[in-house]
Amino acid sequence: MQVQHILKSKADDGVVSVTPGTTLLEAARILAERRIGTVVVSADGVTAQGILSERDIVRCLSVTGPSCLSEPVETHMTRELQTCDRYEAADAVLSRMTEGRFRHLPVVEDGKMVGLITIGDAVKARLTELAMEKDALEGMITSNW
């Protein structure tokens, strides 16, 4: 299964982004309201500059305390952004996310964000593939050829 199939199966294929100057408090509110774990940081809403997760906010709070909530997200975002394209295999993406210990991956084409997949999306896709393979094998075994 390819990333494009995962994107098609998602209820919302949009990418929630914030500008680099957005405060951590504003970003935390967006995460809570939308019930999501990350926002992509982008000045224009199209080109990804970084990513900010709930974990990034918690780390900041543990080091600096609540005063960091007034700081801009660009100060705490992950700048070395991992991305994929829509033709990448879901199991390859799952492996990268597991090895890299991150849970969100922007999907980029021609430098522009076209979606975002989570490790949960990739696991669900892999489980779907395995179920289809199992059904096909059972069908082959039980058929009257």
* Residue 22 domain-assigned (yes or no): yes
Report the half-sphere exposure of 116 (CA within 13 A, side-chain side). 21
Q: Residue 135 class from Cβ within 10 Å (0-12 exposed, 13-18 middle, 19+ buried)?
A: exposed
**CATH code of the domain in which 108 resides:** 3.10.580.10
Does residue 30 register a pLDDT over 80?
yes
pTM of the model: 0.83
Number of domains in the chain: 1
**What is the pLDDT, as a whole number, of residue 145?**
60
Domain assignment present for 117: yes
Structural domain that includes position 109: 3-140
- Percent of the chain clearing pLDDT 70 (strictly above): 98
Given a contact cutoff of 8 angstroms between Cβ atoms, the answer to whether 103 and 37 are in contact is yes
Per-residue pLDDT band at 134 (split at 50, 70, 90) = confident
CA angle 50/80/49 to nearest 5° reads 25
Is residue 145 assigned to a domain?
no
